Amino acid sequence: MWLQTEIRLAPRTRGFHLITEEVLEQIPELNTVRCGVLHVFIQHTSASLTINENADPTVRQDLESHFNEFVPERAPYYRHDYEGDDDMPAHIKCSILGASVSIPITDGRPNLGTWQGIYLCEHRNHGGARRLVVTLNGTSD
C-alpha cells in the first residue's frame, strides 16, 4: 500500500513544537498498516522536523535556547538578510536539523521510543502556516 497526503499546520511561534498527535490524527489509514514506514517532509526552508523528547517541555525550550546561541542572528558575514534578522539563521537551522523524518510503523502505530515525538522546529519569528507531505508505505491487513 502507498498513500501520500498533504497536512497543513497552523502558524506557530518560534520554537520547538510537539506535533506527533496532530500529524497522526490526519492519517486514519495508518491503523491498517501492519509493517511499514511513515515519511514526513516539510516543504519549507526556514522550519525543520526532528524527533526528540515528548514528555518534558523544558527539552524543547533548551533546544530553542541552544540553537539561538549556536546559530546567532545578525552575524556580520550573513549576506542573505533582507527578509529579517531571523531569516538566514532559520535556513542554517533547517539545514542542520533536516526537512524530514522517517518512522517505522508496527501494527498500526508509529514505533517510536517511549519518550519520542515529532517536532516542528519553527525557526522564524512569524513563519506562518507550514505544509507537510506525508507518505505512508507498508503492508496492510
Angle at 43 between CA 33 and CA 136, to 5 degrees: 10
What is the pLDDT at residue 110?
A: 98
Q: Which domain holds residue 97?
A: 2-140
Q: How many domains does the chain have?
A: 1
pLDDT higher than threshold 90 for residue 82: no
Q: How far apart are the C-alpha atoms of 130 and 7, rounded to whole Å?
A: 8
- Residue 115: CATH number of its domain: 2.60.120.460
pLDDT higher than threshold 90 for residue 5: yes
**Cβ contacts of 76 within 8 Å, gap of 6 or more:** none
pLDDT higher than threshold 90 for residue 81: no
Average pLDDT rounded to a whole number, residues 105-121: 97
